[in-house]
Amino acid sequence: MAYEITVDMDACEGIFACLVRDDRFAEAEDGLVTLPGGERTEGILSATFDDDQREAAEQAAAACPTDAIEVSDA
């Protein structure tokens, strides 16, 4: 089942606890997080996936100390 990862870029502080849990998260040029295929608009980064890595995404969201990451059904 497809799911969406959204990141509140205003809340993201570039701590990168997410990178350890899900290797799709990476450091962007601005020092914050990015995702492959992600779209960044109005302070929100979002990307939709249809793979078997949802658990990793949920672990990344749970590890975020600023609660900037959400995982939901697409």
What was the pLDDT predicted at 53?
A: 98
Report how far apart, in Å, the C-alpha atoms of 1 and of each of 40, 41, 51 are. 23, 24, 8
Say what the pLDDT of residue 56 is.
98
Domains and CATH numbers, the chain: 3-73 (3.30.70.20)
Could you report the per-residue pLDDT of 28-72, keeping only the tens digit for each? Answer: 999 999 999 999 999 999 999 999 999 999 999 999 999 999 999
pLDDT digits (tens, 9 = 90+) for 5-18: 999 999 999 999 99
Task: Give the C-alpha separation, 53 to 55, whole Å.
Answer: 5
